Amino acid sequence: MKEELQRFEQFLHTKGLRMTPQRRIIAETLFATHHHIDAETLCDMVRGRNRSVSRATVYRTLSLLVESKLLDGRDYGHGYKQYEHVIGHEHHDHLICSVCGKVLEFTNESVERLQQEILDEHGYAPETYSLVIHGVCPDCRTDAPAGGAASSSAH
């Protein structure tokens, strides 16, 4: 997270912007959280540390972090964006339950390769690519109660 902060500071510097206390608190809070987090929750956490940080600044800083490519924000279908930082996290993909909305991260080498192939095939640069699969998780399934591979890591 030290690295992320430094990169952020560098990014700001490059753009002639400053690392302010507010921006630092927001970035620190974000980089210390290893889950998906939404702006509102982040806001609460940040304001728990320093009451004088406004919602507007949180949103503004989130934009900067996304722009700096240190953060990735996406709406997984809940009606608001969820953010996660990129560095220090192995690239992973998302499996989202259509019923309960739960977001499961997973890694799969074949997918990595395939994504690259597809991007190449269409002439796309792989910048910030990601993969999202929607399905119904074992807990929410009412049909065949999962084949057997499910029981192991099924939360």
Partner DNA sequence: GTCACTGCAAAAGATTTGCACACTT
Partner DNA sequence: AAGTGTGCAAATCTTTTGCAGTGAC
Query: Which three-class secondary structure state does DSSP give residue 32?
Result: helix
Q: How far apart are CA 78 and CA 76, in angstroms?
A: 6
CB 96 within 8 A of CB 132: yes
Distance of alpha carbon 63 from the chain centroid? 13
Supply the minimum distance, in Å, between the C-beta of residue 145 and a second copy.
9
Site string for a second copy, 45-84 (x = CB under 8 A): -----------------------------xx-x-------
Per partner kind, with CB cut-offs from 5 to 8 A, the member of DNA, a second copy, none near residue 40 is DNA
Q: Which residue has the tokens 């890591």?
A: 153
- For residue 96, the surrounding DSSP H or E stretch is strand 93-97
Binding flag, residue 151, a second copy (CB under 8 A):
yes
Among 10, 14, 95, 103, binds a second copy (CB under 8 A): 95
Among 1, 7, 9, 38, binds DNA (CB under 7 A): 38
